[in-house]
Amino acid sequence: MRKALVVALALAVTVGQAIAAEDAKTVIGNVSKAMGVEGLNSIHYYGVAENGNLGQNNNANQPWPMAAANDYVRVIDFTQPASRATWMTYAIPVTGGVAALTPGQQNITPQTTAWAQQLEIWITPWGFLKAAAANNASVRSETVGGKRYQVVKFDAPVKSPGGQPYKMVGYINSQNLVEKVQTWVENPIFGDMLVEAEYTNYRDGADGLKFPAQIIQKRGGWPTFTAYILGAHANPANLQQLLTPPAGERAGGGPPGEGAQRAAGPTSEKLADGVYRINGAYNSLAVEFADYILLFEPGPQNETRALAVIAEAKRVIPNKPIRYGVISHHHFDHTSGLPAVVAEGITIVTPEVNRDFLMKALSAPRTLAPDSMSKSGKKPVIEGFKGDKRVFQDATRTFEVHVIKGLPHADGIVIGYLPKEKILVYADMFNLPPPNSPVPNPPVTGTIVFLENLQRLNLDVDRILSIHSLNPDRLTSVADIKASLGR
């Protein structure tokens, strides 16, 4: 009797799955017909857009900064698959100065394997329907915010570093239009980061094609791309021309800096007894106390770099644990190695303004790409200090952390200062030019703010270490910085 019951249950599940698959096929077919996706092999659309800079907001609790992407043009060939987008940005440099018109592009080729880039094709409403039809989708009805949707789900044919396939979820409204598409991608700060695209204000194009007039894509909870689409064309005759970058342009699609700091480990430079500069494209500072080590900028760039910094700090200061890691500020190029810092059991120290954001982000699941933190089972320990100063002190050493005031780049950015050794370490306030360079006009805002803060704090400084190596690589001084302003 029990065996018969098990067989009956298994049969019921199988039949249920078959019905769900058939229902999904019907839903996807109806939506594809309504949106003009039947017979659609490629698409060309254009408008005005904005790109957000993930992880570079001026305050950890505010949206990502957006830059105009005028004359936005995109073409997608779903059969390869391949995509090319181009735009023009007119923006002021982060360090200040004259705005410049700069071209931008994103190229995705059939050789692009990273889901972070591939998803840009399949998260579109037309790409989602094509991928859902090809990948054994399921469907269910769901009410979200008082609105009824047909929710279509499937596994993408691409697997994450953790071994499981990436998931895709689409929300179909009562007009048979794709209103929202979700997927997840690995991120060193957010873990399994939700990527969500919303499509609204659909319009009728040629040949029955429907396209959204407004697109909003979010990563990490805030928009990273918005667009107002002015027109769209199905199966453009000049597809290959639109897809081909001009001669001399790089056709890749990976993010800037991908693969950096993965080869040789760092070297060290002794600045004083128990004080070491750990060298690299991003420097760190190791400071020895009586029974522990403090690292300033413990987790820059990525997990690989952070592990190398930790190992080097232990090598030059042996037989002591690394107890504290002070981050200069929350921007992701300075914090993407923090999972390794957490795995080491290091307390992350930052002004209170950054604490809640980092705690929530670093506590998120990391199933797509398990890192050293998730493998260790350790949870982040973050000390968010209040006020403008945090002092580490014992009988052997004093290290001061000061919050910088008046810098547009980031709220809660700090400098580190060793009063006995008269050494100061900073990040991202300015990039000092080579000696004897022309005085910039207008002057660099960050340089002026830096000097004003030194005066406000009354710090006696002989040597200054930049987290970003100077050109040529060197420590600098207050006199050098004043000279760069013509003072």
Contact 429, 407 (CB under 8 A): yes
Contact 47, 228 (CB under 8 A): yes
pLDDT tens across 53-105, in order? 999 999 999 999 999 999 999 999 999 999 999 999 987 766 556 778 899 99
* Token pair 């100061």 in the structure block, residue: 424
- Cα–Cα distance measured from residue 417 to residue 459, given in angstroms and rounded to the nearest whole number: 8
- In the predicted model, residues of the chain with pLDDT beneath 50 are 2, 4-19, 252-263
Amino acid found at 261: Q
Structural element, H or E, at residue 42: strand 42-52
Given this model, what pLDDT does residue 264 score? 59
Contact 149, 160 (CB under 8 A): no
Question: Going by C-beta distance under 8 Å and a sequence separation of 6 or more, which residues neighbour residue 207?
Answer: 36, 234
User: From the centroid of its chain, how far is CA 378?
Assistant: 23
Cis before 255? omega within 30: no
Given this model, what pLDDT does residue 408 score? 87
Given this model, what pLDDT does residue 93 score? 67
Q: Among residues 226, 179, 194, which one has the least CA distance to residue 116? A: 194
- Cα–Cα distance measured from residue 242 to residue 83, given in angstroms and rounded to the nearest whole number: 9
Given this model, what pLDDT does residue 16 score? 41
Contact 129, 31 (CB under 8 A): yes
* Token pair 């991003």 in the structure block, residue: 282
Contact 486, 353 (CB under 8 A): no
User: From the centroid of its chain, how far is CA 270?
Assistant: 33
- Cα–Cα distance measured from residue 18 to residue 16, given in angstroms and rounded to the nearest whole number: 5
- Cα–Cα distance measured from residue 273 to residue 396, given in angstroms and rounded to the nearest whole number: 11
Q: What structural domains does the chain harbor?
A: 26-243 (2.50.20), 268-484 (3.60.15.10)
Given this model, what pLDDT does residue 96 score? 58
pTM above 0.85, yes or no: yes
Contact 194, 368 (CB under 8 A): no
Given this model, what pLDDT does residue 250 score? 56
Given this model, what pLDDT does residue 435 score? 82
- Cα–Cα distance measured from residue 317 to residue 326, given in angstroms and rounded to the nearest whole number: 17
Q: Pairing state of beta strands 322-326 and 293-296?
A: parallel
Cα 349 to Cα 115, 284, 352, 373, distances in angstroms = 33, 15, 9, 17
Given this model, what pLDDT does residue 378 score? 97
- Cα–Cα distance measured from residue 5 to residue 375, given in angstroms and rounded to the nearest whole number: 41
